[in-house]
């Protein structure tokens, strides 16, 4: 396969075939750098050498009634994690200050649970209004299954983006969870879009899915028109249904990132949870396909130090995309 030629065709408007997609995931390791060169051709065309930085605050931990097999906060998990109810507005603002000091563009407020309570939406809304005024950060909320009136309130408060991952293919979904449906997840993303909130939805790779499942989820996210696509690589946690699952290696993870770039050429592709464990020393290569990355810790697992990520970007010769304030409006 001539990967650069395929990349040029993608930039020209081509949608790759299933055969080409499976060829990416089955790419010989000896061709990996050539494949990434093609992915970088697409990435550079749309995003140059800029990288968007994101940071999470875990606003509510544990106490979740859902049965997601990958999650240490689920109702079926026996993992030892810190559990606490929704944090205060002041704590969310303190996290925003840390994000701002680390040159983060998007601050992600995440809470466990099937969906947000009225109190949770109110706390987030009040915090977001102050975050916009003080720091100008783009704010992404991830609060679970969303109702129409909740989406309207979050939009009014200034929430820029709403995250609700599809996680896996529709075919594989029931293996991962049975307490909500794949369509529930799609509907939440559509509700966010309906209310003018930028849709963020992604995948978790390494949950015993097939390569065809990976291709299906990449295509589903293209069809959903998600603006931001976080790619998580399973970091299996003891006490979860997927405890002990370890199907990934760094080279395959890079092929997955390349696949998502070839299928979703114009979208923000973010290397997210599990990158340190699964990409290891090959982490920098991932940014030749992706144009966004999480800094710091995740929900119940540790990330690497922010200064290491800043050094990685500097060593790559990439540029952090900063938030700018112009005439009272913050933009990225």
64 carries a ligand binding annotation: yes
Beta bridge partners of 218: none
The backbone torsions φ and ψ at residue 170, rounded to the nearest 5 degrees and listed phi first, read -60, -35
Q: Which residues neighbour 255 within 8 Å (Cβ) at sequence distance 6 or greater?
A: 24, 25, 27, 32, 35
200 carries a ligand binding annotation: yes
251 carries a ligand binding annotation: no
71 carries a ligand binding annotation: yes
142 carries a ligand binding annotation: no
Which tokens is 92 given? 């969310």
Give the CA angle between residues 70, 73, 78 to the nearest 5°. Answer: 85
With contact defined as beta carbons under 8 Å apart, do 321 and 327 qualify? Answer: no
27 carries a ligand binding annotation: no
Which tokens is 314 given? 């500097």
Q: Per the annotation, where are the binding residues for [4Fe-4S] cluster?
A: 64, 68, 71
Q: Per the annotation, where are the binding residues for [2Fe-2S] cluster?
A: 108, 140, 200, 270
Q: Per the annotation, where are the binding residues?
A: 64, 68, 71, 108, 140, 200, 270
């Amino acid at each position: 396969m001539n990967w650069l030629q395929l990349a040029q065709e993608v930039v020209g408007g081509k949608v790759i075939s299933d055969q080409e997609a499976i060829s990416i995931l089955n790419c010989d390791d000896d061709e990996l750098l050539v494949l990434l060169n093609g992915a970088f051709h697409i990435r550079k065309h749309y995003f140059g050498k800029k990288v968007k930085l994101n940071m999470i605050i875990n606003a509510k931990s544990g106490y979740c009634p859902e049965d997601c097999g990958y999650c240490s906060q689920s109702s079926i998990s026996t993992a030892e994690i810190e559990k606490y109810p929704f944090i205060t507005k002041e704590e969310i603002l303190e996290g925003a200050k840390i994000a701002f000091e680390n040159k983060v563009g998007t601050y992600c407020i995440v809470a466990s649970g099937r969906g947000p309570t009225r109190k949770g939406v109110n706390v987030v809304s009040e915090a977001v209004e102050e975050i916009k005024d003080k720091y100008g950060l783009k704010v992404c909320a991830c609060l679970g299954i969303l109702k129409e009136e909740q989406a309207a309130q979050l939009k009014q408060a200034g929430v820029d983006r709403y995250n609700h991952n599809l996680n896996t293919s529709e075919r594989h979904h029931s293996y991962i969870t049975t307490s909500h449906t794949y369509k529930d997840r799609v509907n939440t993303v559509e509700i966010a879009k309906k209310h003018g909130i930028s849709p963020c939805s992604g995948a978790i790779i390494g949950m015993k899915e097939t390569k065809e499942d990976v291709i299906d989820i990449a295509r589903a996210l293209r069809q959903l028109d998600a603006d931001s696509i976080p790619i998580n690589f399973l970091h299996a946690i003891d006490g979860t249904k997927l405890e002990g699952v370890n199907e990934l290696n760094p080279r395959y993870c890079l092929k997955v990132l390349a696949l998502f770039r070839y299928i979703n050429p114009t979208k923000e592709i973010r290397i997210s949870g599990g990158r340190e464990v699964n990409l290891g020393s090959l982490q920098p290569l991932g940014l030749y396909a992706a144009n966004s990355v999480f800094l710091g810790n995740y929900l119940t697992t540790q990330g690497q130090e922010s200064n290491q990520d800043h050094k990685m970007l500097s060593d790559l010769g990439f540029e952090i995309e900063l938030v700018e304030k112009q005439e009272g409006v913050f933009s990225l």
